[in-house]
């Protein structure tokens, strides 16, 4: 009996174990070549820089567990009239782990500033989704002279139940196990609440998320980012934002509820709100054309 139980455990572990994928294979599949990689702040950042070089610049920052491909549909809408810069943030996608081991918001601000300097971008509009929204509004508050306009898509930043300001969250054993165990069906289940319409979660989309999370070092970096996420009261920081700001929310967002928009509208001077009925947490994927055109009008107004 003990021998059979041990055999079952070994078989189950072998079935669930999810190793990293080879970097070379992922880069061949998801990058356009060596020119997509930029050495910045001690990192090899995966960056895509599209559109006219003399046009106004917009930089798009993805959310936790995401990658620059989340912006593909908006990029196609934006790039005829804007220079569009997307990147895999440190610890994500083809950028992979940050050698510094630092995944704080302050580190992200340093990296973004260094990237703008490297690309010769004196001033840009910022678009940030979820965690990327939090990074975007912190950057806009710290460097108002570098930000033309600010778009926050279901932004993170106000403490939700289970989180406290000034205190790092406890990362449970189940999340830490993600480093070794991440079968695609389990990932699909965890992604599902982000989408109001399940049909958006095509096999290709789920595969992309799965493979980006299996890039070398990414899952360990995601865990480290969670362990280093110490939220600060955002109100005094948001009050320092001077860039015209548009808040974007799907009214069926089950991850960061639209009720949070009121906190941002009160804290950011002159902020506007654009909502999309029947849309979940990822309007750039779930209602790409509708939401993208609304944001493009704001950026070009």
More confident position, 64 or 7: 64
Report pLDDT digits (tens) over 22-33: 999 999 999 999
Using CA atoms, how far residue 286 sits from 185, 195, 250, in Å, is: 20, 7, 9
Mean pLDDT of 73-94: 98
Q: How far is CA 41 from the centre of its chain?
A: 19
Q: Enumerate domains of the chain plus CATH numbers.
A: 24-300 (3.40.50.1820)
pLDDT for position 159: 83
pLDDT for position 1: 38
DSSP E strands, 73-164: 83-87, 124-129, 147-153
- CA–CA gap between residue 5 and residue 7 (Å, rounded): 5
Taking 50 as the threshold, does the pLDDT of residue 109 lie above it?
A: yes
**How would you class 2 by CB atoms within 10 Å of its CB: exposed for 0-12, middle for 13-18, buried for 19 or more?**
exposed
Task: Please identify which of the residues 46, 129, 210, 281 carries the catalytic annotation.
Answer: 281
- CA–CA gap between residue 261 and residue 134 (Å, rounded): 13
Taking 70 as the threshold, does the pLDDT of residue 7 lie above it?
A: no
pLDDT for position 191: 95
The pTM score is 0.93
* 77 sits in which H/E element: helix 72-78
Average pLDDT of the chain is: 92
Report pLDDT digits (tens) over 223-256: 999 999 988 999 999 999 999 999 999 999 999 9
Report the candidate in 99, 104, 96 with the shortest Cα–Cα distance to residue 45: 96
Catalytic annotation present for 46: no
pLDDT for position 133: 98
Give the pLDDT band (50/70/90) at residue 16.
confident
- CA–CA gap between residue 54 and residue 178 (Å, rounded): 43
pLDDT for position 162: 67
Report pLDDT digits (tens) over 127-167: 999 999 999 999 999 999 999 999 999 999 998 776 788 88
Report pLDDT digits (tens) over 251-281: 999 999 999 999 999 999 999 999 999 999 9
Token code pair at residue 75:
């990029």
- CA–CA gap between residue 80 and residue 55 (Å, rounded): 9
Report pLDDT digits (tens) over 49-67: 999 999 999 999 999 999 9
Report the candidate in 8, 3, 281 with the shortest Cα–Cα distance to residue 133: 281
């Amino acid at each position: 009996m003990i021998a059979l139980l041990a055999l079952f455990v070994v078989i189950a572990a072998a079935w669930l174990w999810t190793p990293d994928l080879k970097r070379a294979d992922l880069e061949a599949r998801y990058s356009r070549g060596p020119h997509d990689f930029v050495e910045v702040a001690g990192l090899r950042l995966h960056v895509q820089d599209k559109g006219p070089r003399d046009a106004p610049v917009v930089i798009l920052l993805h959310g936790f567990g995401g990658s620059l491909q989340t912006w593909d549909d908006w990029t196609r809408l934006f790039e005829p009239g804007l220079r569009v810069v997307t990147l895999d943030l440190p610890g994500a996608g083809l950028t992979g782990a940050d050698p510094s081991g630092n995944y704080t918001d302050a580190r992200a601000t340093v990296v973004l500033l260094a990237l703008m300097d490297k690309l010769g971008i004196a001033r840009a509009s910022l678009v940030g989704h979820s965690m990327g929204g939090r990074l975007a509004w912190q950057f806009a508050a710290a460097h108002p002279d570098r930000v033309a306009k600010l778009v926050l898509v279901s932004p993170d930043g106000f403490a939700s139940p289970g989180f406290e300001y000034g205190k790092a969250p406890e990362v449970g054993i189940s999340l830490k196990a993600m480093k070794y165990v991440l079968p695609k069906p389990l990932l699909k289940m965890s992604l599902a609440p982000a989408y109001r319409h399940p049909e958006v979660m095509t096999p290709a989309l789920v595969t992309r998320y799965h493979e980006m999370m299996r890039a070398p070092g990414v899952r360990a970096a995601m865990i480290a980012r969670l362990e280093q996420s110490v939220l600060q009261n955002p109100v005094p920081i948001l009050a320092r934002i001077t860039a015209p700001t548009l808040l974007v929310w799907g009214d069926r967002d089950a991850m960061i509820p639209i009720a949070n928009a009121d906190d941002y509208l009160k804290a950011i001077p002159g902020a506007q709100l654009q909502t999309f009925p029947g849309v979940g947490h990822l309007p750039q994927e779930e209602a790409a054309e509708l939401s993208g055109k609304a944001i493009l009008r704001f950026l070009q107004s």
